[in-house]
Amino acid sequence: MKKIYAEFKEFIMRGNVLDLAVGVIIGGAFQKIIGSLVNDIIMPIITMITGGIDFSNWFIALDGNTYTSLAKAQEANASTLNYGVFLTEVINFLIMAFVIFMMVKTMNSLARKALRKKEEAAEAPTTKICPFCKSEIAIEATRCPHCTSALPNEEEAADEVASE
């Protein structure tokens, strides 16, 4: 029994299991946020645009009777094809997929910008050419190690180029 407990503990303590657990918890919370966005903000706008149509009451009663609402058909224990509820879920899915797409697109854009900045920083020159002997030297050098000439600082070098 101790061996099983030790193996289970090792399994649970793996990083990927903990990452998965955190992902599932955050995903559940995110689903509630998106569900609220769809049900409380977007669907009322769609209902207003469509003239107050409530998709959830779009159904076909399979017993051949006519009911004024889905709730009344369900009270009568009638089998129904709830295509309005299905349509609402399809709309929820499409909206949720679009919101997630926009979030991923934004995150990818931010990641690309950060990568570009990192690449630009990596591409910054680390060497320069000695103006006297034309040897390659460290960019921070104040004296050339090859010809021992004192190197002008960047401001003096810019002034010399401007005066020539």
Q: Model confidence over 36-52: pLDDT tens digits?
A: 887 788 878 887 888 87
Domain coverage including residue 38: 1-52
pLDDT of residue 129: 92
The reply to whether 95 and 150 lie within a common domain is no
Q: Give the number of other CB atoms < 10 A from CB of residue 66.
A: 8
pLDDT at 158 over 80: no
SS3 162: helix
The reply to whether 58 and 81 lie within a common domain is yes
Checking 77-83 for CB contacts under 8 A at 24+ apart, the result is: 82/56, 82/58, 83/58, 83/59
Q: List CB contacts of 127: < 8 A, sequence separation 6 or more.
A: 136, 137, 138, 139
Q: Write down the mean pLDDT value for the chain.
A: 84
Torsion sign over Cα 67, 72, 76, 78:
positive
The reply to whether 77 and 112 lie within a common domain is yes
The reply to whether 97 and 148 lie within a common domain is no
Q: What angle do CA 151, 152, 156 make, to 5 degrees?
A: 170
pLDDT > 90 in the chain, percent: 26
pLDDT of residue 164: 52
The reply to whether 68 and 109 lie within a common domain is yes
pLDDT of residue 51: 82
Per-residue pLDDT tens digits for 66-116 = 998 888 999 999 999 999 889 888 887 888 788 789 888 999 999 999 998
The reply to whether 37 and 85 lie within a common domain is no
Contact criterion met (CB below 8 Å) for 89 and 58: no
The reply to whether 58 and 48 lie within a common domain is no
The reply to whether 119 and 132 lie within a common domain is no
The reply to whether 64 and 107 lie within a common domain is yes
Query: Structurally, how many domains does the chain consist of?
Result: 3
The reply to whether 117 and 58 lie within a common domain is yes
Amino acid, single-letter form, for residue 53: I
pTM: 0.52
Per-residue pLDDT tens digits for 125-144 = 888 999 999 999 988 889 99
pLDDT of residue 113: 93
